[in-house]
Structures are given as structure tokens and as C-alpha cells.
Amino acid sequence: MTQADDRVLETLADSDLILSPRILSANTDYSRHYLSTRLGKLRDAGLVDRVDDGLYRITDRGLAYLGGELDAKDLEDNS
């Protein structure tokens, strides 16, 4: 997990919207390309769902991670 991962999850959780890497990039300090890569990793870890081509939302597992119920080490071991 990276600082960008936390930022993406927080943005998705706070907005409660389905967002694209482009929109996430406009609201964070990260490039669209970098966020696309990180969203793939977050999807592999079950923290976000891709609901359509290029559109993502946070999962219950992602919310649990933000709430401190899941450890980042456990996520990396599973992905």
C-alpha cells in the first residue's frame, strides 16, 4: 500500500461516488496513468471494484481498511 492508495480510497469513500482515474487525478496530486496502475492493484486486493470500463468505487473491504479493521501487511500478502 502506498500513500496514493490511501488517498484514492479516502477520496472514493468521502465522495461516495463512482470515479475514473482522470477525476481522481484532478482531485489528488497523482497522474492519471499512475492512478490507473494503482487502481489495478487496489482491485486485485479487493479494495475497489471496477463497475465499468475505467470507473471505480470503494468496496466494503476498502472501507474496512480505512477504518483500521484490515492491516496493509495482510493485503499485500493476499495480492
Write out pLDDT tens, residues 24-61: 999 998 999 999 999 999 999 999 999 999 999 999 99
Average pLDDT, the chain: 92
User: pLDDT value at position 79?
Assistant: 46
Counting every residue, how long is the chain?
A: 79
Q: Are the beta carbons of 13 and 66 closer than 8 angstroms?
A: yes
Q: Which three cell numbers stand for residue 18?
A: 463512482
Mean pLDDT of 4-17: 95
Nearest of 52, 64, 54, 51 to residue 9 by alpha carbon: 64
Return the CATH fold of 3-67: Arc Repressor Mutant, subunit A (1.10.10)
